[in-house]
Amino acid sequence: MTKLVWLNGVVSPLESATTSVADHAHLYGDGLFEGIRIYSGKVFKLDEHLDRLYHGCRYMNFAMEISKSELKEIILQTASQAEAVDGYIRLNVSRGSGLGLDPKAVKTAPNVMVMISTLALYGAEAYETGLDVITTSFRTIPADSLDQRLKCIGRYATHILAKAEANRAGAGEGLMLNHQGLVAECTGDNIFLVKDGVIKTPHASCGLLQGITRDTVIEIARRNGLVVEETLLTRYDLLEADETFLTGTAAEVIPMVTLDQRLIGDGRPGRLTKKIIDWYHEETLKGTPIPAYASNH
């Protein structure tokens, strides 16, 4: 696979791709992004990611000139040109270019980037043994400041600080609570627990990104006859759980075995977690096929 970037209609190698220093996402974090997986030549949950992106554009009042169907075709063609079989797509949309916080300072159309690359958050061993997680001191941003369901570039400064805190503690991830002390999410993943055969995850109103992988796992679990509750959870619920696991496009589904140096269950990946991992891998065989790249054939 060749790592490529499509930026405002120009395709270039990842190493040489550049954007304007006056890009509003670069200057102020005024942008949106999606991370999307490629499995076996198919883009997984492409429509769902594009739906969320365009909802965000409406929320942020970006004057998108590229339609959803056009952007979908751009993504597929760029992935085809990269001859991607398995990989990671980073999709960025910023308000445009212009100096000054006021959106009126932006005189250009939104800057749109499609990056075809690779990303692996955790090594293979972490999926076998599970992650150690700590509760970080950083809280998620409340909805009256910025709704966490918005995948806004600027909101991730808090998550980066929380991840750095987890790194200093030697933990694989950091748990973030909201300002009411309820469980929200981890720095880059959604969180689930299993108790007495029932799967529970924080409700979207608790201040979390409503992840595509999160929603996929809920759908898969219910399809297989399991009960899934979106509810209010505290650290007590996690520590009392039989199993816990995390989900995210980059992370996929990964077991969590400790919280704040306390074992969850028996401290090993749980039986139901392993089933969900298998079901999820089966689900990734579905997707939007990338057209064959034929320029050299």
For the annotated catalytic residues, the residue numbers are 151
Residue 120 token pair:
């692996």
In the chain the beta strands, taken as DSSP E runs, fall at 4-7, 10-13, 31-39, 42-43, 87-94, 111-117, 131-135, 173-177, 183-186, 190-195, 198-202, 228-231, 243-248, 252-259, 262-263, 288-289
Q: For residue 240, how many other CB atoms are within 10 A of its CB?
A: 12
Taking each helix axis from N to C terminus, what angle separates 46-60 and 212-223, rounded to the nearest 10 degrees? 130
Enumerate residues 6+ apart whose C-beta is below 8 A from 257. 129, 130, 131, 132, 244, 263, 264, 265, 267, 268, 269
Residue 290 token pair:
């990338």
Enumerate residues 6+ apart whose C-beta is below 8 A from 72. 46, 47, 50, 288
Residue 45 token pair:
């949950």
Residue type at 7 in one-letter notation: L
Report which secondary-structure segment, H or E, holds 287. none
Taking each helix axis from N to C terminus, what angle separates 46-60 and 68-81, rounded to the nearest 10 degrees? 130
Report which secondary-structure segment, H or E, holds 293. none
Report which secondary-structure segment, H or E, holds 296. none
Residue among 75, 93, 71 nearest 84 (CA): 75
Residue 241 token pair:
């759980």
